Amino acid sequence: THLSPVIKCKAAVAWEVGKPLSIEEVEVAPPKAHEVRVKIVATGICRTDDHVLKGSFPNIDYPVIPGHEGAGIVESIGEGVTCVKPGMEGLLLHPLKSMVKLQWCRSRPLLYVSNLYESQNLMPDKTSRFTCKGKAIHHFLWISTFSEYTVMPDSAIARIDDDAPLDKVCLFGCGFSTGYGAAINTAKVKPGSTCAIFGLGGVGLSVVIGCKSAGASRIIGIDINKDKFTKARELGATECINPQDFKKPIQEVLVEMTGHGVDYSFEVIGHTDTMVAALASCHMNSGTCVMVGAPPSGSQLSFDPMLLFTGRTWKGSIIGGWKTKDSIPKLVSGYMEKKFNPDVLITHTLPFDKINEGFELLQSGKSIRTVLLF
């Protein structure tokens, strides 16, 4: 299998900050040892990919192929790969389906964040498998799902149920797992509690699903785009508020609404001011605030230390805190058993060539998740 040739295919390349993606023909080198080459079938567009286009994702080298919410079929494997096999071997009966996702390093969790922004811009051996017009193109989070074929370390791929619909379960690669896990794993929302979710995009609505399934009795959705409220209510939000409808700061509104602040607050936007507002919205002694939205690169937080001194807990959560290789396939099985249904988050499905239209839908607030099909 290591003799498999270079594949030419289309991919969306971000040549530099501030430019729309351009669809190019790229060459995808065969997988090296402990790497897997995958044919992407479906990929979602997450706000984090937009951060890459805008230059607000930390430590990214350009040109780069973004995308981190995909599902596909293994095309070939490098030496030493044992967890998956090329799809051809399972051909007529059950083509091997695999989900592409971020790796959680279980034995060294502290390396997780420090590695995330640096080495995942290239393969672990610090080289790239993508070339376009004679130039090496960078990888993103090791998985670059905005390419018809992509190469990733075998640690970044997991098998999922053979009959899982790839055009739906691609959301388990990021959006759904991130939001649902932030509620279930990171906050560990308790039955009967009150939750506030700042930002009702694909990730924030997945937090709503998680809070509801954990048995929260009050779920308050907060967004400046009231078009997001209908879906939030459908998924379990008991109240939805728009900060622009109030003169006072939103944290004061939430403290008044609840008496003492919420038990759990989640920032799922990625702005420093709403990160502090979310912290201030939770209960002084027992509240927990979870940072899910990606902080803009180079930003600094400034906040009144009394907010923490008095007893609040502030936590961050990446990909929902799951040990992804073990847990995400189980989440997909839960989906197959109809335990939760993030399909409603998919508002648009487009052919891959219309990727920039997908980004425009996200930027204008008209979509929750757009899934692109190759």
d(CA 148, CA 33): 21
The nearer residue to Zn ion, 174 or 355, going by C-beta atoms, is 174
Q: Scan residues 46-75 and list those touching ligand CND (CB under 6 A).
A: 46-48, 51
For the chain, state the CA radius of gyration. 20
Least distance (Å) from ligand CND to the CB of residue 283? 21
Q: Is 131 in the site for ligand CND (CB under 6 A)?
A: no
Least distance (Å) from ligand CND to the CB of residue 186? 9
| Residues that bind Zn ion in the complex, under the rule CB under 5 A | 46, 48, 174
| Size of interface with ligand CND, in residues (CB under 6 A) | 32
Contact by Cβ (8 Å): 288, 315 = yes
The nearer residue to ligand CND, 199 or 358, going by C-beta atoms, is 199
Least distance (Å) from Zn ion to the CB of residue 94? 29
Distance spanning both ends of the chain, measured CA to CA: 24
Closest CB to ligand CND belongs to which residue?
Answer: 201
Q: Which does 51 bind (CB under 5 to 8 A by kind): Zn ion, ligand CND, none?
A: ligand CND
The nearer residue to ligand CND, 286 or 356, going by C-beta atoms, is 356
Closest CA to 345 of 41, 46, 71: 46
Q: At what angle do helices 355-363 and 47-54 cross, to 10 degrees?
A: 100
Q: Is 269 in the site for ligand CND (CB under 6 A)?
A: yes
User: Mapping DSSP to helix (H, G, I), strand (E, B) and coil, where does residue 220 land?
Assistant: strand
Interface residue with ligand CND, options 185, 193, 274, 281 (CB under 6 A)? 274
Closest CA to 205 of 373, 364, 47: 47
Q: Is 270 in the site for ligand CND (CB under 6 A)?
A: yes
**Which tokens is 130 given?**
């993508």
Q: Is 204 in the site for ligand CND (CB under 6 A)?
A: yes
Q: Which does 349 bind (CB under 5 to 8 A by kind): Zn ion, ligand CND, none?
A: none
Least distance (Å) from ligand CND to the CB of residue 6? 31
Which stretches of 183-247 are DSSP H helices?
A: 202-213, 229-235
d(CA 371, CA 45): 7
Q: Is 139 in the site for ligand CND (CB under 6 A)?
A: no
What is the DSSP track for 38-105?
EEEEEEE--HHHHHHHHT-STT--SSB-----EEEEEEEE-TT--S---GGGGTTT---EEEE-----
Interface residue with ligand CND, options 24, 35, 223, 263 (CB under 6 A)? 223
Stretch that binds ligand CND, among 76-84, 185-193, 199-207, 322-330 (CB under 6 A): 199-207
DSSP state of 303: -
Contact by Cβ (8 Å): 362, 347 = no
The nearer residue to ligand CND, 271 or 354, going by C-beta atoms, is 271
Q: Are strands 369-373 and 346-351 parallel, antiparallel or unpaired?
A: parallel
Q: Which residue carries 């295919």 as its tokens?
A: 9
Q: Is 183 in the site for ligand CND (CB under 6 A)?
A: no
Q: Is 38 in the site for ligand CND (CB under 6 A)?
A: no
Q: Is 276 in the site for ligand CND (CB under 6 A)?
A: no
The nearer residue to Zn ion, 175 or 221, going by C-beta atoms, is 175
Residues near ligand CND (CB under 6 A): 46-48, 51, 174, 178, 198-204, 222-225, 228, 243, 268-271, 274, 292-294, 317-319, 362, 365
